[in-house]
Amino acid sequence: MYSQDGESFFIVDAHVALWDARPENQRNIHGKQFIDCFYDYHANLSPESQKWSYEEYLYQGGERLMKDLFTDGYVDHAIFQPAKLGEFYHNGFGQTEEAWALTQANPDKLTYNHNFDPRLGEAGLDQLRADAERFDLKGVKLYTAEWNGDSRGWKLDDPWAYRYFELCQELGIRNIHVHKGPTIRPLDRDAFDVADVDHAATDFTDLNFVVEHVGLPRLEDFCWIATQEPNVHGGLAVAMPFIHTRPRYFAQIIGELIYWIGEDRIQFSSDYALWTPRWLIEAFVNFQIPEDMTEYAPITMDQKRKILGLNAAKMYDIPVPAELQLPNADETATGSRQPERADLAAV
């Protein structure tokens, strides 16, 4: 919990990872390119006091994660969103076993999501069944630009992807987190395009599609899709640190999101270990839309409460202390709406 000037906030960091990009885990030059690009984002968007050395950035480990998130970082609950990147790293980029062990040891603090790749066909479907049972999956993290052999990406509306979404429905995996943001060397920028979100969200109205990084640099495209598809949500990973380096740009991002989709479908995340949550949370609670940006309304504390944790807690059924909850507001006729219920739509 974070408190300031009598205001308290339940914090859910909805996008974190444990990774290993040390040289011994790099399969090829692309593994180094990938982590170097990550480090460039970190170094260029972080306050000077929050910058890590390159060496410690390659691998953090679970002990440091627990300290950075929960001891120092105000976080009440965090959700692992791992990327595999098996073409670049011998044991994968996201560290499944270490993250899962931490989750088992701290179930009140951590939720583990996994990943799938529809290009693996039937074998991948079998693996998803096994993963869902082992990890009790409530969500998955998808990298549509991930390489697989000669393939350098896939789309959410591919026929095989639909087979996997159908299995997600069957298995009760409701939350589909998709990296749709800035490219990361050497991945292809166009493979992160947001257009395929529209098709999948329309055809799977009982799944939540959380567009991580809110589609940046395609914010406008994302907003036009999300305002029409009430099961599309926005994750603020990568957008958050602009609060420091480009505060007016961040004001535009958050202002557009609240205008188009409302504060009920926006989720805070530090994108750990790209950034640590403490300074981002402090900066967001203190942040306000500049007065001269009159096209956007001021952000209220209750809107910040929803974004910082209550929205993700609701999606993942994470218990929130009564004193930190907000009363449920009546649903509006326009703007942010609940996804249509499949059972009613079929009547």
Q: Which residue has the tokens 């969500």?
A: 139
* pTM (two decimals): 0.92
Q: For position 340, what pLDDT does the model report? A: 52
The pLDDT of 266-284, averaged and rounded, is 97
Whether residue 175 is predicted with pLDDT greater than 90 in this model: the reply is yes
The pLDDT of 336-344, averaged and rounded, is 48
Whether residue 343 is predicted with pLDDT greater than 90 in this model: the reply is no
Tell me how many degrees the CA angle 222-223-225 measures, rounded to the nearest 5: 65
User: Which residues have a Cβ under 8 Å from the Cβ of 51 and sit 6 or more positions away?
Assistant: 42, 43
Q: For position 329, what pLDDT does the model report? A: 57
Nearest to 17 by CA among 273, 327, 315: 273
Q: What is the pLDDT of residues 87-110, one digit of tens each?
A: 999 999 999 999 999 999 999 999
Q: For position 144, what pLDDT does the model report? A: 95
Residue 306: domain span:
2-345
Q: Which residue has the tokens 């300074």?
A: 279
Q: Which residue has the tokens 């270490």?
A: 98
Q: 140-144, 183-187, 308-312: which range is least confident on average?
A: 183-187
How long, in residues, is the chain? Answer: 347
Q: For position 236, what pLDDT does the model report? A: 97
d(CA 210, CA 234): 6
Q: Residue 164's domain is classified under what CATH number?
A: 3.20.20.140
The per-residue pLDDT of the chain, averaged, comes to 93
Tell me how many degrees the CA angle 141-224-191 measures, rounded to the nearest 5: 40
Q: Residue-wise over 157-178: b if at least 16 C-beta within 10 A, else e?
A: bbebbbbbbebbeeeebbbbbb
Q: What is the pLDDT of residues 22-61, one digit of tens each?
A: 999 999 999 999 999 999 999 999 999 999 999 999 999 9
Q: What is the dihedral of CA 157, 160, 84, 38, to 10 degrees?
A: -20
Band the pLDDT of 345: cuts 50, 70, 90. Answer: very low
Burial class of residue 55 in the structure, from the number of CB atoms within 10 Å of its CB (0-12 exposed, 13-18 middle, 19+ buried): exposed
What DSSP state is assigned to residue 185? T
Q: For position 342, what pLDDT does the model report? A: 45
Q: How many domains does the chain have?
A: 1
Band the pLDDT of 330: cuts 50, 70, 90. Answer: low
d(CA 255, CA 262): 9
d(CA 197, CA 16): 22
Whether residue 161 is predicted with pLDDT greater than 80 in this model: the reply is yes
CA distances from 153 to 5, 40, 140, 156 (A): 47, 23, 17, 10
Whether residue 67 is predicted with pLDDT greater than 60 in this model: the reply is yes
What DSSP state is assigned to residue 28? S
